[in-house]
Amino acid sequence: MSARSDVDDVLSIIHEVVEKIPFNKVLGLSVESLDLDRPSVKLGMREELIGNFIRGSLHGGVISSTLDFMGGLVAFLGVLKTLEGQPAPVMAARFAKIGTIDLRIDYLRPGIGRHFIATGYVLRAGKKVAVTRMELHNEQRELISVGTGAYMIA
């Protein structure tokens, strides 16, 4: 089996796991892309996710949770790139070690939209900690919120 096919196998496993995580199911997160450099997840607006019922905007906790998940996913994908050539089970096992150390969210405008796309990328990755940057846009590509997170990766 080639190194690239091992990475593809792990990405397939991660795609399934992401959508089976109970809290992700509550939020309704679905994987749009597991691109190693710029992954994305989609969040559809539902009544249960409204924080300000007068405006009909997304709850800040939903935004924070979505960006936190994206940051952890980005951190893992960054680790995955460094493990290329390792067996798929070794790569997949690292997913379980990801944990949030610190998270900062800046709410830039109300979360109004039919759906939202979260993206992210690694700012810096060391041996034990990765720092990531995340963004949340609505379907009109308006920037709703940004986040910076630090994640344990070892």
Mean pLDDT, the chain, integer: 92
Q: What pLDDT score was predicted for residue 18? A: 83
pLDDT band of 4, cuts 50, 70, 90: low
Q: What pLDDT score was predicted for residue 93? A: 81
In this model, does residue 16 exceed pLDDT 90? no
Long-range contact pairs involving 82-86 (C-beta distance under 8 Å, separation at least 24) = 82/125, 84/3, 84/4, 84/6, 84/7, 85/3, 85/6, 86/6
Q: Which of 148, 57, 58, 59 is nearest to 105 (CA)?
A: 148
Fold (CATH) for 3-152:
Thiol Ester Dehydrase; Chain A (3.10.129)
